[in-house]
Amino acid sequence: MQPKPPEIFARDDEWQYLAKFAERTGTRPKLGVVSGRRRQGKTFLLVSLAQQSGAFYFSATQATERDSLTLFSAALAEHLGTSAPFSFDSWDAAIKQLFAIFAERRELVVIDEFPYLSKVSPALPSIIQREIDRAVSTNAPVSLLLCGSVMSVMGRLLAGNAPLRGRAVLEMVLRPFDFRLAADYWGTTDRRLAAMTHAIVGGTPAYLPFVEGDVCEGLGDFDDWVRRTVLNPNKTLFREARYLLGEQVEARDTAMYQSVLAAVATGNCTRGAIASHVGRKVTDIGHYLNVLEDCHLLRREPDVFRPSRSVFRVCEPLIHDVSDTVLTCYSGVGFDGSLAREGDVRAVGLAQLYG
């Protein structure tokens, strides 16, 4: 099994499962699906795995089907070291050739940002299903990993009557670090400060480089740190909540999703309370709640006082912060670019810590 590179923080279990999946053993095809919201380190993990195992790695882009096929053909030719590039006129031809080549080479195939491809080529999952089934009947040992960040799309790949349902042997969701891992990652030894930091930025690995080394130096620096990072209109984290939502949901309904998240963040946690807050009937918000759950932006929990009911919680602290504090104190962060008031900053941390 390939050893985990030292530059990868934590993710020991994830690496173990991925490295085992990449091993060239057996005579049957293997399909794996890796998903998770952006900035959790999926691509970093998969690129490291590909480099160590000699896998073919292809990262899709937002492009037309023809352009995607051209990019795929060039990447495949480069990996194989062929002088002449491949020329595929359809994904049907491309996937057939891909399975034929790697059944012989017994190398792992990684396709990253798969939702970009399936969006413009809806038949692609069905094509992959057909080739996997053929590989099963011929004992062709092809190992294919599909990866993506659009949780609503990745979740449907293996659900219900989807073509790939029942074909995957690995289904991994990369989640943010928990409280203890996040404290180690941020280099915070003070438990109270670690809890307050986690309440603001959670455990998403990419947020540390986003602040460019500006780590909170102590409890006395906490308010200033939040103001100069999360609540600073000139910093990336200030708009991160908006970007997270925009990447996961249909553009035409963004306002409703924002309203649903804001309702939950401000304490309206039951279906009835959420519907009342957004001015809709309870039956009208079911779709929005389901999508936000699929995207891991909301989670459903049983109501401890009423077992027959459930309540909703915001999963991502940054979304909770923006909905609960920034929107209600927006004059504090100002359209003129001024920063939030100290009392507003402290309210964010306390609200997140003590609920």
Q: Are 165 and 248 in the same domain?
A: no
Q: What share of the chain has pLDDT > 90, as a percent?
A: 70
Q: Which residue type is seen at 36?
A: G
Q: Are 145 and 59 in the same domain?
A: yes
Which contacts qualify for 302-306: CB closer than 8 Å, 24 or more apart?
303/270
Neighbours of 74 (CB within 10 A): 13
- Contact between 274 and 177 under an 8 Å Cβ cutoff? The reply is no
Q: Are 166 and 219 in the same domain?
A: no
- Contact between 198 and 183 under an 8 Å Cβ cutoff? The reply is yes
Number of domains in the chain: 2
Asked if the model's pLDDT at residue 325 lies above 60, the reply is: no
Distance of CA 83 to the CA centre of its chain: 36
Distance CA 92, CA 155 (A): 23
Distance CA 43, CA 113 (A): 9
Q: Are 154 and 207 in the same domain?
A: no
Last residue of a domain, which of 130, 145, 173? 173
Q: Are 349 and 205 in the same domain?
A: yes
The predicted pLDDT at position 62 comes to 95
Distance CA 353, CA 202 (A): 11
Q: Are 155 and 193 in the same domain?
A: no
Q: Are 247 and 341 in the same domain?
A: yes
Give a yes or no: residue 348 inside a domain. yes
Distance CA 84, CA 75 (A): 12
Q: Are 16 and 111 in the same domain?
A: yes
Q: What average pLDDT is seen over the chain?
A: 88
Give a yes or no: residue 1 inside a domain. no
Domain range for residue 37? 12-173
Of 281, 284, 272, 277, the C-alpha closest to 309 is: 272
CATH of the domain at 146: 3.40.50.300
Pairing state of beta strands 310-314 and 298-302?
Answer: antiparallel
The predicted pLDDT at position 1 comes to 84
Average pLDDT over residues 229-255: 82
Q: Are 276 and 318 in the same domain?
A: yes
What pTM was estimated for this model as a whole?
0.87
Distance CA 303, CA 60 (A): 42
CATH of the domain at 333: 1.10.10.10
Residue found by looking up tokens 């000139």 in the block: 234
Last residue of a domain, which of 148, 173, 198? 173
Look at the chain and count its residues. Answer: 355
Distance CA 27, CA 142 (A): 8
Q: Are 145 and 242 in the same domain?
A: no
- Contact between 47 and 152 under an 8 Å Cβ cutoff? The reply is no
Give a yes or no: residue 6 inside a domain. no
Q: What share of the chain has pLDDT > 70, as a percent?
A: 89
Q: Are 87 and 19 in the same domain?
A: yes
The predicted pLDDT at position 250 comes to 63
Per DSSP, what are the bridge partners of residue 214? none
Give a yes or no: residue 220 inside a domain. yes
Pair of tokens at residue 110: 């990684």
The predicted pLDDT at position 333 comes to 42
Last residue of a domain, which of 173, 206, 233? 173
Asked if the model's pLDDT at residue 342 lies above 90, the reply is: no
The predicted pLDDT at position 322 comes to 54
